[in-house]
Structure 1
Amino acid sequence: MDAFLHIKSIIGIILGLSLTHLIKSSVYFIQHPGRKKIYLLHFMWVVYVFTLIIHFWWWEFNLKLITEWFFVDYLFIILYIILFYMLCAILYPDDLNDYDGYKDYFFSRKKWFFTILALCFAADIVDTYLKGEKYFSQLGNEYLIRNVSHIVFCVVAVFIKNKIFHYAMASAFIIYEIIYIVRFYNLEV
């Protein structure tokens, strides 16, 4: 259990930094509404990543199922969590001086964003398997289909420039994630 508490602390620190980056950068639009314009598609991905991080943080409670920890497991979890911070940092750069706003910025960095997002879904499969075969199989086919299809959509999004595709994908990812959370955790709405 001591290893779990240690891992939980590291997870909390890195995910806390990730959420801080997203929230602080999003509040900037309220603090200085005339300086930078919100680009809806970009902001939809901010909402999605925020939701994904919150879900992931709760999901990682099941790391308690791992009875024997190895350094490679610990390293994997840390690298996986760093991917979330990278998503947040890519969504909100330190400055936009080289770009004509978030629309220009987002499409210039979409390859990085979707590649890292795809890596998150691939890492999630490994992370879930680390919690045990029984736990992995209890999630059913939907879990694996969800992650593999999200990986495929992210890879496709790297190459697609069509804004309608990107809006549809962001909308579908947000809606599905919320529905998945509600169903998986038996939440009443």
Structure 2
Amino acid sequence: METFGHVRMVIGFILSLSIAHLLKGTAKFIQHPGREKPYWIHLSWVAYIFILLVHFWWWEMPLHTIKVWTFPEYIFIISFITTFFLLCALLYPDDLKDYNGYQDYFYSRRKWFFGVLAFSFIADVVDTLIKGQLYYHHFGIEYPIRNISHFLLCLLAIRISNRTFHGALVLLFLAYEMSYVLRLYLSAG
């Protein structure tokens, strides 16, 4: 139990930094409304990543059932949560001096953003398997279909720069994630 407390603490630190980065970046639009113009697709991805972060925290609860931790499991879990911090940093850079606002920035960094996001769906499967085969299988067929389809859509998003595609994609990801979280946790009580 002591090992899990340490793992949980490190996850909490990185998760907190990730959420703080998103909140700080978003608050700039309120603090300085004339400096940078918000871009709805960018802000929608911010909302999506925020939901993923909150979901991740809940998703990691079953880690307490692991009685013996190995260093590879520990480093994997820390690396996994670090991908979310990287996504937050990609959404809100330190400055936009080299770009013409968030729209220009988002599309110039979309390959990085969707590459890291695609990786997170693969890492999610490994994370779930660390918790055990029984845990993995209790999510049914939807879980692997979700992760494979999200991974493939991220690969498409790397290649496609069409604004309509990206708008539809983020709305699809948001709607699905909200539905998935509500179905998983409201039905479980």
Question: Normalised by the shorter chain, which TM-score bucket?
Answer: over 0.9
Equivalent position of 2:73 in the other structure: 73
Query: Over aligned residue pairs, what C-alpha RMSD do you find?
Result: 1.0
Q: State the alpha-carbon separation in 1 of the partners of residues 66 and 148 from structure 2.
A: 24
Aligned to 2:150: 150
* Counterparts of 2:19 and 2:186, CA distance in 1: 25
In the alignment of these two chains, the number of paired residues is: 188
Distance 2:113 2:150 in 1: 13
Structure 1 runs (4+) deviating above 2 angstroms are none
Give the structure-2-normalised TM-score. 0.98
**Pair 1:26 & 2:31 matched:** no
The answer to whether residue 45 in structure 2 is matched with residue 37 in structure 1 is: no
Secondary structure in 1 aligned to 2:73?
helix
Amino acid across the alignment from 2:154: C
Counterpart of 1:185, as a letter, is Y
Match in the other structure for 2:180: 180
Give runs of aligned pairs for residues 1-189 of structure 1, distance below 5 A. Answer: 1-186=1-186
Matched residues in 2 for 1:2 and 1:26: separation?
36
Q: Which amino acid aligns with 2:11?
A: I
Deviation digits for residues 47-98 of structure 1 (CA, Å, limit 9, x no counterpart): 0000000000111011112221100000000111110000000000000000
Amino acid at match of 1:9: M
> How far is the alpha carbon of 1:163 from its aligned partner?
0.8
TM-score (norm 1): 0.98
Q: What SS class does the counterpart of residue 53 from structure 1 fall into?
A: helix
Could you list the runs of 5+ residues in structure 1 that have no partner in the other structure? none
Query: In structure 2, the residue corresponding to 1:185 is in which secondary structure?
Result: helix
Q: 1:67, 1:173 → 2: CA distance?
A: 34
Three-state SS of the structure 1 residue aligned to 2:186 is coil
SS in 2 for 1:37: coil
SS at 2:167 equivalent: helix
Tell me the distance in 2 between the aligned counterparts of 1:29 and 1:21: 14
> Do the aligned partners of 1:121 and 1:150 also contact (CA within 8 Å) in 2?
yes
Conserved 8 A contact 1:121-1:151: yes
Cα distance in structure 1, aligned partners of 2:62 and 2:181: 15
The answer to whether the Cα contact below 8 Å between 1:65 and 1:132 also exists between their aligned partners in 2 is no
Q: For residues 187 and 105 of structure 2, what CA distance do their matches in structure 1 show?
A: 37
| Larger displacement relative to structure 2 (139-148 or 60-69) | 60-69
Q: Percent identity?
A: 52
What is the CA-CA distance between 1:38 and the residue it aligns to? Answer: 0.3
In 2, are the aligned partners of 1:118 and 1:150 still within 8 Å (CA)?
Answer: yes
